[in-house]
Each structure stands twice: as C-alpha cells, then as structure tokens.
C-alpha cells in the first residue's frame, strides 16, 4: 500500500472514530468485502465483514442480534519494505502484516472463505484462537495456491483473539508475518471510546543483521535460537511514526487492540508518557486499572485504554528496551491539543547543582590525546564537529542555539565573536559568574574540559565557522598561549 492510500485510510478512520456510525464504516472499509448490507436468509441475517488493515479497526458493532458474518480473506506472498533499504518476502493474510482485523459479535456465525493467491509458492491455512473446534480451523482451511476453502464456526466466547497460519513448518509461516487479530465483541458491546487502533508485534529473522540492505531471506537458525534481528509493530520498522503516527486529541479516549504474533518473543507493551486507565489483560473479560506495562504473550493479545490528557508524542514500545531502540519495536501516538501545566509542566527550571566545596568541575577528565592532527582549517572544522558533539552539544545544543536561561547560545554569540580567547578560556578552565550573551544574562557554570590544545583549537574553529559566527581559525599555539596565561 502506498503512502497516500494509507493516509486516506487513516483520515477515514478518524472521521469514522468521531461518529462511529455503521454508514461511515462502509465508506472506510479497505477490503473488497465491504458492504455492510444485510440480507435475510433462513434464521440469521447475512453480513459481509468489514476488514481493515492495521492500524485501522472496523467500526463498533451496533447490532443487538446475532448474524451470519461472511469473511473473505486472501493469503498473499509478497516482497515489502522491512526497514529503509531492507526488503523481505512476507507471507500475509490480506496483503500486509499483520493480517486484516476481523470484528464480529458474540454469538455470530462466521462463514470463513480463505483464498490462497495463485502466485503463492506455499499452501496456507488459518488457526483462529476464537474458534472452538479442532485446530482452530487449521485443517478445515488448508488451501493450496489458487484455491479457496470454506468453513464455519460460532463465536462462543467474547474477547480479542490472535489468528495465524498453522501450515508446516508453522514457525516459519508465522515468522514470515502470517498473523492477525479477530475481535469478538461481547453481546453488550465494548464501552464507547473516541479512537481505536490495531497494533500487533512480531519478531523477524533475517540472514543479514538489523539494517543490512537488500532483500533479506528468512534465517531458520536464528528463529530456532530465538534471536530476532527485527522486533516490530505492524510488520515494518517505522510503521507508525512520522506521517504514519497514530493520532489523538487531548481529552480523547484511545483504545489499542494489541496483539503479538511472535513467533517467539513475549512483549512488555508500554506507552511512554501514559498510564493505561484500563487493561483487559490477555484480552480477557476482567478490566484491571492503572497499568504501566502489560504482557502480551506470543499468540496472545491485550486491550489497553487511556485518556490522552496532555499533548505530545507518546511512544509505544516493547519495554524489553533494546528491542525498541535497536530492533524497531517503536511507534508514535501524536496527541494534539492544549497544554495542561498542572498535569505536566514541562521543564520549569534548570539550576546548577554544586555540592559543597566544589568549585568549577571538569568534564572528560583523563581522556587520551587524539592521534589525528589537523593539517588545515577545513580539517580542523571537520574534526571539531565530532569533539563538539561529544563534549558541548549536550548543553549548547545541536545548532549552538543553547537553552534559554540555562546555556548561552554559541550561534551568533556576541560574547564569543568579540574575542575568541574568551571561548578558549571557557573551554580550558570553565566559566562561571554573570556573563551577557546577545543581551541575555547568564549566571551559571560551565565545567572545564580536559581537551588538549589541538582538540580545543578544533572545536572552537568548528564553532567559529558555523551558525552565523564570524569565521577564522583558532590554532593549537593560540590555545597553548591561553593555557599558560593567567
Ligand atoms: Cu502459511
């Protein structure tokens, strides 16, 4: 699916969530079987299921009677983007990972049509955890490429259930992305919320390491050892970030249908910056409250709910945290609206902490001298950039803009540009007491650094030649002179 289609879908989901009507639902459906029209046959009215691709969820069920719900799903094997520059041959239910979301009502009869695309290399089937019956429908739905299998089941138990392919080798079919969620709403429905989203974790095993470019084949050995290269939400690194971030407004209630396809890992699902007001743990019937992190077993699910109280970026992670920051298990919920400083103030003050007896501290003590010596100004600037990032950026910020009231700007700094020796002194010996930079008074402390003459020359030459400063070169000789000056 391209970006535009996705954007449309997301936009559609919003308008849908806003009014939640069944009519809107029909418009938003991404699946071909989107007609919500019911026709009467025998005892139960027949309804075509609305199927959606993550992160979208079909609309809440408004019916108060059982129906025969017809689900038509297709298994497709296709190459898609795993991460930027990395491709993978996914096996899918409905053309993406996770598979399409199915929403039915407790007591419904589901007539399931599973078609396997003619171009498939493998037979596939489906084991729905919502099924009471042998294999969850696996044997009944076993389908060769270019065929369709049909079977029926009755949704006896309400809950959120995983479905997955169960064709041998089962682990491989799941590892390639063959899983999704089916929600069986309780007869009375779920409590109303403003937004509903579909988030499903999975672990992937590739021949190449994380980020290694090209089409990456599945690695069985890593899968058996349970050492994934990728742990992701909704099938791909970055599936819910940037312009694909989930959206909510301050004051809205958000429900996440969270699944875990595995095949191996258990997820410690957490949203950085929120507390779940309600979690249906393991997607069971009992609601628990005030949960920070909830476990989602491989082949299991959870329903989590929270009210968005303040604006900002909420970050969904697997709190087995290397998976989030090194393997991809990260997604963004963008919350828009007015601030509420009582609930969250933002940083109010940064004051210097100086334990008793300490004067100007120093940072980077005992660092070894660099091997490289700059041959000219250009090289000095290049080397200085690295030194800046390691020693100065934390306080003076990436573009030398500083932090108001705490760290003065180095960009267009009249203090620095008036006399580079002041900068040299600051870096060599630290700086404290009142100074005025571009009209703002700072009365703070900059620690001395343990950089050698060459490094100080490089970093200050870098600063001097960036962000609107006046240029020129600071040499090691000049630094040495300041070092011995009183
Ligand atoms: Cu399969």
What is the enclosing helix (H) or strand (E) of 428?
A: helix 420-429
Say how far residue 4 (Cα) sits from the centre of its chain.
20
Å from CA of 138 to ligand 1 middle: 10
DSSP bridge pairs for 266: none
Å from CA of 139 to ligand 1 middle: 12
Q: Which residues are annotated as a binding site for Cu cation?
A: 124, 129, 164-165, 173, 178, 319
pLDDT tens series, the chain, 486 aa: 444 444 434 433 333 333 333 333 333 334 344 344 445 445 899 999 999 999 999 999 999 999 999 999 999 999 999 999 999 999 999 999 999 999 999 999 999 999 999 999 999 999 999 999 999 999 999 999 999 999 999 999 999 999 999 999 999 999 999 999 999 999 999 999 999 999 999 999 999 999 999 999 999 999 999 999 999 999 999 999 999 999 999 999 999 999 999 999 999 999 999 999 999 999 999 999 999 999 999 999 999 999 999 999 999 999 999 999 899 999 999 999 998 888 888 877 777 676 665 555 555 444 444 457 889 999 999 999 999 988 888 789 889 998 887 889 999 999 999 999 999 999 999 998 899 999 999 988 888 888 899 999 999 999 999 999 999 999 999 999 999 986
Q: 92 and 177 in contact (C-beta within 8 Å)?
A: yes
Q: 295 and 269 in contact (C-beta within 8 Å)?
A: yes
Å from CA of 169 to ligand 1 middle: 9
- Alpha-carbon distance of 141 to 114, in angstroms, equals 7
- Predicted TM-score (pTM) of this structure: 0.64
Sheet of 276-280, strands arranged across: 230-233, 195-204, 253-262, 300-307, 276-280, 288-291
Q: What are the CA-CA distances from residue 180 to residues 105, 200, 301, 350 (Å)?
A: 17, 7, 10, 47
- Alpha-carbon distance of 22 to 35, in angstroms, equals 10
Q: 328 and 231 in contact (C-beta within 8 Å)?
A: yes
Q: In the numeric block, which tokens belong to residue 265?
A: 């890992």
Cβ of 462: how many Cβ atoms within 10 Å? 25
Å from CA of 37 to ligand 1 middle: 31
Which of helix, strand or coil describes residue 16? helix
- Alpha-carbon distance of 171 to 288, in angstroms, equals 32
Å from CA of 235 to ligand 1 middle: 16
């Amino acid at each position: 699916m391209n970006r535009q289609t996705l954007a449309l879908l997301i936009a559609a989901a919003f308008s849908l969530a806003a009014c939640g009507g069944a009519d809107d639902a029909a418009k938003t459906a991404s699946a071909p079987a989107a007609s919500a029209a019911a026709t009467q046959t025998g005892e139960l009215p027949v309804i075509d299921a609305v199927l959606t691709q993550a992160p979208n969820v079909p609309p809440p069920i408004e019916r108060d009677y059982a129906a025969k719900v017809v689900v038509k799903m297709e298994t497709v094997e296709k190459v898609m983007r795993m991460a930027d520059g990395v491709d993978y041959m996914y096996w899918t239910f409905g053309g993406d990972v996770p598979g399409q979301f199915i929403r039915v009502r407790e007591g419904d009869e589901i007539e399931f049509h599973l078609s396997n695309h003619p171009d498939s290399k493998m037979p596939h089937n489906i084991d729905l955890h919502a099924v009471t019956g042998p294999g969850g429908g696996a044997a009944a739905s076993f389908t060769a490429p270019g065929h369709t299998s049909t079977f029926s089941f009755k949704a006896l138990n309400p809950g959120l259930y995983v479905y997955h392919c169960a064709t041998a080798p089962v682990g491989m079919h799941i590892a390639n992305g063959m899983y999704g969620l089916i929600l069986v709403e309780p007869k009375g429905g779920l409590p109303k919320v403003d937004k509903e989203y579909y988030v499903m974790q999975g672990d992937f095993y590739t021949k190449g390491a994380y980020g290694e470019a090209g089409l990456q084949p599945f690695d069985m050995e890593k899968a058996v050892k349970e050492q994934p290269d990728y742990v992701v939400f909704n099938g791909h690194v970055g599936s819910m970030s940037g312009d694909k971030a989930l959206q909510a407004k301050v004051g809205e209630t958000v429900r996440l249908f969270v699944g875990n396809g595995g095949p191996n890992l258990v997820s410690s699902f957490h949203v950085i910056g929120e507390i779940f007001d309600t979690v249906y743990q393991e997607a069971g019937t009992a609601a628990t409250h005030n949960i920070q992190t909830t476990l989602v077993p491989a082949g299991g699910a959870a329903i989590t709910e929270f009210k968005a109280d303040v604006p900002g970026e909420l970050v969904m992670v697997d709190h087995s945290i290397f998976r989030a920051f090194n393997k991809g298990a990260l997604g963004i919920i963008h919350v828009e609206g007015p601030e509420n400083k009582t609930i969250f103030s933002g940083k109010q003050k940064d004051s210097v902490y100086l334990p008793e007896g300490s004067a100007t501290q120093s940072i980077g003590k005992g660092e070894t001298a660099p091997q490289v010596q700059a041959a000219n100004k250009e090289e000095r600037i290049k080397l200085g950039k690295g030194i800046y990032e390691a020693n100065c950026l934390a306080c003076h910020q990436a573009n030398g803009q500083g932090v108001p009231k705490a760290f003065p700007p180095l960009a267009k700094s009249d203090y620095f540009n008036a006399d580079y020796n002041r900068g040299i002194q600051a870096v060599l010996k630290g700086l404290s007491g009142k100074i005025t930079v571009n009209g703002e008074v700072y009365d703070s402390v900059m620690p001395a650094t343990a950089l050698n003459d060459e490094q100080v020359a490089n970093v200050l030459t870098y600063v001097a030649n960036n962000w609107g400063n006046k240029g020129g070169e600071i040499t090691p000789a000049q630094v040495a002179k300041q070092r011995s000056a009183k």
